[in-house]
Structure 1
Amino acid sequence: MGSRLQIPANDSIILRITHSNLKTFSDEVRFWGDATIAAVKDKLWKKCGTSVESMRLELYDHSGIKISDLSDDSKPLGFFSPQDGYRLHIVDLDPSSLTSGGWLEDTSLVQKYTISDEAYNKLGGNFRKFREKLAGSGSVTSGKKLPDNYMEEFCSNIKVGDRCEIEAGEKRGVVRFVGKAETLTPGFWVGIELDEPLGKHDGMVKGKRYFQCQPQHGLIVRPDKVKVGDFPEKDPFDEEI
């Protein structure tokens, strides 16, 4: 049986990941050929939220035909002869899982917290009072509009397709948009497709699509927060796999 391992231990494979409960979830993840199925599951739960104990993995080829159930946690991934671009499907077996019922995808299911103006004004340190204090001190100029070319000079070395890193939190990704954003405040913005689901949207902001990416992978920031260069995708779990 051991002869079935067709990819060397020091070689990697990129698989497309889908999820039984998260219909909009799709990702591409790199694994090593000698990674055990248990280690693969451990890496995947950090990305999708399904616990290792509740996870069943299925491997599909390029044409969508099921190759195998990856049911033996002790076997290496390479035993099942995966190829680049094969699909690894996560089946969440826990009916009470956080991923079930659409809670992670449909925000309309989340009960919104509301507070009356009277109750809000009674709060000692609310944001409204903070802004009023700043306005009174002259720190905020009410009604002042930013110029249309605000921060344009920071965009001179940023172009679509550049790898980049965002200074706040050191998130990495690919530049997908550079320019003015009519649904945001005046000036120049940079849209980024993040490597990990650490963003706020899928490239659509306030009803306007600026670029296309997976849900929660999109972010639009001011260009002074973006550094372009040789920033490869971070994968801190590769060493464990």
Structure 2
Amino acid sequence: MAARLRQVEGDESVVLRVTHSNIKTFAADVRFSLQLELYDDTNSKVSDLSDNSRPLGFYSPLNGFRLHVIDLDPASVTSGGWLEDTSLVEKYTIPEDEYCKRDGTFRKFKEKMQSQKPSALENKISDNYMEDLCANIKVGDRCEVDPGAKRGVVKFVGRAESLSPGFWVGIQYDEPLGKHDGIVKGIRYFQCLPLHGAMVRPDKVKVGDYPERDELEEDEI
């Protein structure tokens, strides 16, 4: 262990930083009486304190000296480095049958949450979802899309394999109010200018006499 000495005039003790050969992260400042037997080191070895008849003061320790403890006990709890490296410590694993009997485990919580979810079959959207609403929507129809009363032209009606089941309507907006150019998730459903295309559910679409906004303003002049 390393000792950093802080000597005070008239004080017959010294503060040493103590380190340990088997515990690399251990370090402590300890005040020792100069009568104790210690191993005194600097960065290079100064001396072995092997003479038990000599006090620590005989070796003239100074501030910053390092006292290193050599642990020669093969049965020492510090041997092998396991006090610092937890990967060397054998981990306890509970037997599967005992874990299954316990309450309050993450597995029991997960099973409970899954049992409370509605059946996947109950939530499944039919392939014919909103097909009836497409009866009066044809490609080429002028339309208005909610929310926002966005106007445009119907460019696609039908199922979209890259989207959820059911029927979809592809819209080419008059203005750049869309998200794409007719390609959705790598599949082209129609052609339009960038950011003018959108795929919406039929219940958002109203077809009829919906001229472009500029044309409407000219008619009102």
Shorter-normalised TM range:
0.3 to 0.5
User: Structure 1 length normalisation: TM-score?
Assistant: 0.40
Higher RCO, Cα 8 Å, sep 6+: 1
Bigger radius of gyration, 1 or 2? 2
